[in-house]
Structure 1
Amino acid sequence: MQHTFATNLASALYTDMYQLSMAHAHYNYNRHNEQVAFDYFYRKQPYNGGFTIFSGLGEVLALLQEFKFSSDDIDWLHKTTNFNDEFLEFMREFRFKGTVYSMREGEVVFPQEPLVRVQGNLVEAQLVETALLNYLNYSSLIATKAARIKLVARGGILSEFGLRRAQGLGGMLATRAAITGGFTSTSNVLGAKVYGVPAVGTIAHAYIQSYDDELTAFRDFAKINPINCVLLVDTYDTLKSGLPNAITVAKEMEQQGHKLMGVRLDSGDLAYLAKQARQVLDAEGLTYVKIVVSNQLDEYIVKSLFDQGAPIDIFGIGTSLVTGKPDAALDGVYKLSMANGKPRLKLSENIKKTTLPGLKQVYRYHDAAGNFIADAVALEDETAPDTIHHPYEPDKNLPLTGCTAEPLLQPVMQNGELTVTPTPILEVAQYAAKRLSKLTDEYKRFENPHIYKVGVSKKLYDLRTELRSKHKKNTF
């Protein structure tokens, strides 16, 4: 059998080489069973925005259940590395048996707070790092982009059209993340099947060009596809050719008991063309025909189209969405926070890059209306603190006495087995929309959004200070 990237996604080789090199060292020094904890978090909001939508957890949990080395993997490692036979036999039996705490997928999240905690032995907790980062960073970036587009779409229907421009098989994760962020359909047929969402599509210029005339192309396509038929009207001349021919076909469809669903604009001045098309369609009694637009759309263009009064019903959005343009990556990291029962931190001259030690819980505070106020990162054995402290500026704090607090990190996997029922992606999307509605508008605007407050408990602040002082004493 020829091996492809797709057939190896569940392999524990889906990691970076240094993870295996460290595992080899841990095993040979008999440290592989030492218990540790790692936190996944990110440092900076994407798109200069005020929030991120946490996405990809379902895929990560599914991967962890299948994360193992095949016999072929072990044979390849034997041939290509200097790993000793004892270690390779140990890895042959490797399965992830750790424990995972996580925020719920679809949660609205913020920098510096742990979104996922992985606990287990040194080998298993380290080996899953790369795959976890790969899935969560990309998925959360795309879900956030989708949510930003949804915020300005004014109820318009959003469909993900990005598979052909996605980074390889990342197109599958992009489809899932786009649904999480508020899109309701996809052109990705496999994605639609796997994730249980509608598959949609219109018609390509090539189909129309393959005919000697546009009207015949429209008639043939509508005849064989009378349900949800959308005609692409910009192959030759949108207003002089495409739209008149689409109107002719629409009226012929009416005589046959069907209705043309829409006309699609894929080039030119979309705002102007949409207004003209709407005016002509309405004058012909085709008020039910929807206007669909595509072509390099993002949140700023969608907002601009509506600001210009463009009467658009459906948006097909691809490249900018699935590539996370312009950011390309979320800077999520995976850092050790506990080892052998002792809290650990990564020290830096820049206090903002000094990690938070120990096992932690994240609490979210609500006001009387249920809106989000602030988040607190506290040690796991603490209750929600009444006051949170700025993580880097000791003189700043925020009293939260009397506010309602909810813990966000919950166990989702215990000893390698799921402790929660996998959530269908449409339910994840509903949760994301509900949570985003509790974030007030000043955090969701595109220009200079308010910075949401994420603080730490006094106990956690003091622990980090103590460990920093201890480690600094041991440096030259």
Structure 2
Amino acid sequence: MLPRSLPRPAPPMAPLADLYHLTMAYALWRTGRHRDPAAAELFFRREPFGGAFAVGAGLGQALRSLGALRFSAADIAYLRSVLPSTTEDAFFDYLSTVDASEVTVTSVPEGSVVFSRVPLLQVKGPLLVVQLLETTLLCLVSYASLVATNAARFRLLAGPEMKLLELGLRRAQGPDGGLSASKYSYIGGFDYTSNVLAGKLYGIPVRGTVAHSFIMSFRSLEEVQPRVLSPLAGGKPMDLPSLAESWLQRVCELLGTPSDKPNRGELAAFVSYAIAFPQDFQGLLDTYCVMRSGLPNFCAVALALHQLGYRAIGVRLDSGDLIQQSKDTRRVLRACGAHFQVPWFGSIPIAVSNDISEQSLEDFIREGSEIDMVGVGTNLVTCPLQPSLGCVYKLVEVNGSPCLKFTEEEEKMTIPGIKAIYRLYDAAGHPFMDLMALENEPSPSVGQELVVHILGRRGEATKVRPSAVELLHRMYLRDGQVYEELPSLQEVRSHAQASLNLLSPVHRQLRDPQPYLVAMTEKLHLLLAELQHASQ
């Protein structure tokens, strides 16, 4: 493949940095070290939400951001106003030339299952540029990976059949957070979003139902305009409010519900919506009372539509005991389908919302609910169980020399050197270990006995023998040129589900999972020990 320059998105993102990156850049420039070859890696220290894995996301956007690494004249003018007055003019002249033309990036494919301490991506280039990219890359990868992981957990709990709708835009941290949440929830396994702009920008399927405000805005059937609807197959238009009213009498008789109990304003709202969307009619059942009003009214309108050749597409419950209400709703739908000889009626999809959490989904499954679709907002997009993934970006090599951050906290100690990352698989086809090696080490082979040191376990080396070996990182950018095409959002989503499916059940379980093993080779372990000794 011939190299191509990265597309430059708008707006330019070069100023998306913390101030100290600019002051350090000036200090490096003053000392003449700004062009020293360097390498850094981005990783997280602990798996989120008490699980054993995360889903790497935001990597495509991070790579695209490199195409925007250029300071405009307006950027330079602003930086002159915030950097100390002693900053030399020549530095700003140099800064106006900075771009990603000498940057090389390797990373895991977006959507991959990833683990703590293993680099999601590695960046090589001039020291000043490598350091300047830190906050931009952390900002674009950390939240994206957190939301994708949160979404994946919902998908694992829901199972493959239940549909998941992301509807968190109104709960998100601003419009940017809302768009990101929609995009990365889709990667994590959600089927739809309610976010129209996300649908437009990213091609995510968009779905929605009806709000309580629409139902409450009607008081009587006299407010319905227009009133007539033509049969699907053609023919004389019929007065739908009258038809629905007649069906309501029959439904109430079947259910043993007094015919004066269903709210006529609610019926009018359903009829109006049905006339507007006869092939996409759906009902929100809990504005007044599900069993005495919402459900009889819905069934009446849906049966009236059926008489004209149309088919209702679903109902939604948004309050109360969702599990019991779903069972009661299904029972009524089946009863109407059997009594009125409408076979499909009993299988009308039931959707629920109302502050759905992981615990809610577990309850739905355990109690055998009749729920077909779940809408999740706050507990998906805000990630309340863990508001940050805590990604870090650390220098690992300068001028060909590995470097180490030495600290008494083992968790915060970095692992030196530019690395090759391998995923080792067992005989069942499940990954059981990610192995970090120095870049110039020979690749491990299938069936080869490997001597490794598992992170977090002090002591002697361990021997493993993989049944399959995968080189985890791919080179996406080489000296500022596209080296491998970035996948589409749909391809990333499919890869995420395939990656999750490969996990062993002991690592995929969401409560008290078995920790996934991350290790380093003997050679990397010796380098780490050597640098630790030198630091002491």
Instruction: State the TM-score bracket (shorter-chain normalisation).
Output: over 0.9
- Report if the CA contact (8 A) 1:387-1:401 is conserved: no
Alpha-carbon distance between aligned partners in 2 of 1:8 and 1:79, rounded to the nearest angstrom: 24
Aligned to 2:113: 108
Report whether the alignment pairs 1:245 with 2:297.
yes
Alpha-carbon distance between aligned partners in 1 of 2:389 and 2:333, rounded to the nearest angstrom: 43
Report whether the alignment pairs 1:180 with 2:187.
yes
Aligned-residue offset at 1:396 = 4.5
Q: Deviations over 1:179-237 (max 9, x none)?
A: 11111111111111221121111111111112111111111112212343332111111
Listed as ranges, the matches of 1:46-65 within 5 Å are 46-65=48-67
Aligned to 1:208: 215
Amino acid at match of 2:100: F
- Report if the CA contact (8 A) 2:169-2:178 is conserved: yes
1:12 to 7, 11, 14: 14
Alpha-carbon distance between aligned partners in 2 of 1:401 and 1:207, rounded to the nearest angstrom: 63
Listed as ranges, the matches of 1:437-476 within 5 Å are 437-472=501-536
Listed as ranges, the matches of 1:276-315 within 5 Å are 276-285=328-337, 286-315=345-374
Aligned-residue offset at 1:251 = 1.0
Q: Which moved more, 1:457-466 or 1:287-296?
A: 287-296
Q: Deviations over 1:161-186 (max 9, x none)?
A: 11111111111111111111111111
Alpha-carbon distance between aligned partners in 2 of 1:85 and 1:226, rounded to the nearest angstrom: 68
Q: Deviations over 1:118-162 (max 9, x none)?
A: 011112111111111111110111111111111111320011111
2:391 to 325, 329, 332: 332
For normalisation by structure 1, the TM-score amounts to 0.95
1:153 to 154, 158, 166: 158
2:484 to 395, 420, 433: 420
- Report if the CA contact (8 A) 2:324-2:369 is conserved: yes
For normalisation by structure 2, the TM-score amounts to 0.84
Aligned to 1:272: 324
Aligned to 1:323: 382
Aligned to 1:360: 419
Alpha-carbon distance change, 123 to 227 in structure 1, aligned in 2, over 3 angstroms: farther
- Report if the CA contact (8 A) 1:65-1:417 is conserved: no
Q: Which runs of 4+ in 1 moved over 3 A?
A: 7-10
Report whether the alignment pairs 1:84 with 2:73.
no
- Report if the CA contact (8 A) 2:183-2:204 is conserved: no
Alpha-carbon distance between aligned partners in 2 of 1:396 and 1:307, rounded to the nearest angstrom: 44
Amino acid at match of 2:90: E
Alpha-carbon distance between aligned partners in 2 of 1:380 and 1:457, rounded to the nearest angstrom: 11
Amino acid at match of 1:104: P
Aligned to 2:229: none
Alpha-carbon distance between aligned partners in 1 of 2:99 and 2:113, rounded to the nearest angstrom: 31
Aligned to 1:405: 469
Structure 1 runs not aligned, ≥5 long? 1-6
Amino acid at match of 2:44: Y
Task: Let me know the Cα RMSD of the aligned residues.
Answer: 1.5
Aligned to 1:73: 75
Alpha-carbon distance between aligned partners in 1 of 2:430 and 2:108, rounded to the nearest angstrom: 18
Alpha-carbon distance change, 413 to 234 in structure 1, aligned in 2, over 3 angstroms: same
Aligned-residue offset at 1:298 = 2.0
Aligned-residue offset at 1:395 = 2.2
Alpha-carbon distance between aligned partners in 1 of 2:280 and 2:137, rounded to the nearest angstrom: 39
Q: Which moved more, 1:65-74 or 1:139-148?
A: 65-74
- Report if the CA contact (8 A) 2:476-2:486 is conserved: no
Report whether the alignment pairs 1:94 with 2:98.
yes
Report whether the alignment pairs 1:345 with 2:399.
no
Aligned length: 466
- SS of residue in 2 equivalent to 1:287: helix
Aligned to 1:199: 206
Aligned-residue offset at 1:246 = 1.0
Alpha-carbon distance between aligned partners in 2 of 1:34 and 1:374, rounded to the nearest angstrom: 34
Listed as ranges, the matches of 1:125-136 within 5 Å are 125-136=130-141
